[in-house]
Chains A and B, each alone.
Chain A
């Protein structure tokens, strides 16, 4: 039924992309199978586990629940976009150092949810971290080390901004 296919254009990790797919194809499948961005994982496939979390137009979404037609013209950020400059993102570094990742399936979604959280709230308290990551399930870590990783990453960016402020003076 290729006559049902639409050309859908959006921007992924700063790069313009176009795909010819059925409009109801899940954004998750377009990212993984059409664009070969396999960092984004499928867990439950029904919006419960958060492993497919990506950022779309600055909002956190479950890519398994986004029909790709609704991503037309959108800015998408996936886990591959975090270390775009070549250096690990502070959250990725913190997850490494604090043991925030074990089997790794939830990790890309956790990183995107944590990125979203720190973007809107650079210094979250524990309750805010728990709420920000409440839609992302991890069956390995018991969550404590993931929360520690977010706290560590928030502290790094605080040091960084303090340093910058010091330089500016």
Chain B
């Protein structure tokens, strides 16, 4: 433990309104902390730069999952245990539960929040590829009001996002229109629990009369932030899933992926395995179509 607890101020205002007022009074000065599964690790290592922290843990307005006929809204303070325990998510958004099961271990899932995973913005974030292929929308709040943006526009660079300094991530809204889609999510890491991914790929697709009529692909650890693979999608859209299309999609993804070498893997490994995951999904899709 190299961090010094005396070096950090921390407050827990207890309500969303009070947190937003604090952020508005001194934009950029306060670092929100929810379950601490990221920031407390930085603290232990002595590299938590934030001098002032505002706790979001236990704020009831942030910890919810609401579902209705056409959407499910997940509060930023919902934990991955909450997400995995929700029957509507298991039924309509099965990739979310699968992604949630990859987050650390049970002890991490009972503290790690959906908002924390997204705002932290790790290129390897476990929940992000699934949120991307489900067309998630992000709701941001501040004392000025609230606004919504597509999650695909949220990350703007390595650990950078579209939030203003006085804003807080309030909720993620998920449309429920994927019942007809073939869905795919696979992570490659060193072991099932606790391992940060080397690469992960998510997909939702529809094949109509032999041709791909809808396709969303998203990856973790293939770019500076979790992102859709639009060029690879374009190589598939409107085409039949035959050997030529699969080869074209592989080529497109090899060109589109921009992974790096780091402690967990190499760029070359990530690119090759990422493309193999895509092929695995496309072969599943083809076998289903017959």
Contacts and interface: CB of A to CB of B under 8 A. Distances in A.
A50 B40 contact: no
Contacts of A47: 37, 40-41, 104, 107-108
B9 interface: yes
A25 B110 CA distance: 20
Interface in A57-84: 59-62, 64-67, 69-70, 72
B5 interface: yes
Interface stretch (A11-19, A128-136, A151-159): A128-136
Which of B6, B45, B101 has the most A CB atoms < 10 Å from its CB?
B6
A48 interface: yes
Interface in B12-60: 12, 33, 35-37, 40-41, 43-45, 53, 55, 57-58
B5 A24 contact: yes
**Chain A: interface residue count, which band?**
35 or more
A4 interface: yes
B187 interface: no
A126 B45 CA distance: 35
A45 B44 contact: yes
A134 B193 contact: yes
Interface string B171-196: 00000000000000000000011100
A16 B53 CA distance: 26
Nearest to B105: A135
B12 A135 contact: no
A70 to B, nearest CB: 4
* Residues of A contacting B: mostly: mixed
A61 B8 contact: no
A59 B111 CA distance: 9
A48 B104 CA distance: 8
A69 B41 CA distance: 16
B110 A59 contact: yes
A65 B105 contact: no
Contact of A65 (B10, B11, B36, B81): B36
Interface string B86-109: 000000000000000100111110
Contacts of B105: 50, 134-136
Given A70-B55, A134-B105, A60 B8 contact: no
B36 A70 contact: yes
B7 to A, nearest CB: 8
B104 A116 contact: no
Contact of B194 (A1, A22, A70, A134): A134
Contacts of B107: 47, 50, 53, 60-62, 113, 135
A46 interface: yes
Contact of A70 (B12, B45, B81, B101): B12
A26 B10 contact: no
B92 to A, nearest CB: 23
B1 interface: yes
A25 B41 contact: no
A71 B123 CA distance: 30
A59 B80 CA distance: 12
A71 to B, nearest CB: 9
14 contacts: A22-B5, A23-B9, A23-B12, A42-B1, A45-B1, A46-B44, A61-B107, A61-B111, A65-B111, A70-B58, A131-B101, A134-B192, A135-B104, A135-B106
Interface of B: 1, 3, 5-6, 8-12, 33, 35-37, 40-41, 43-45, 53, 55, 57-58, 81, 101, 104-108, 110-111, 192-194
Q: Which 10 A-B pairs have the closest CB atoms?
A: A135-B105, A134-B193, A59-B110, A23-B10, A24-B5, A65-B40, A22-B5, A25-B5, A24-B8, A70-B57
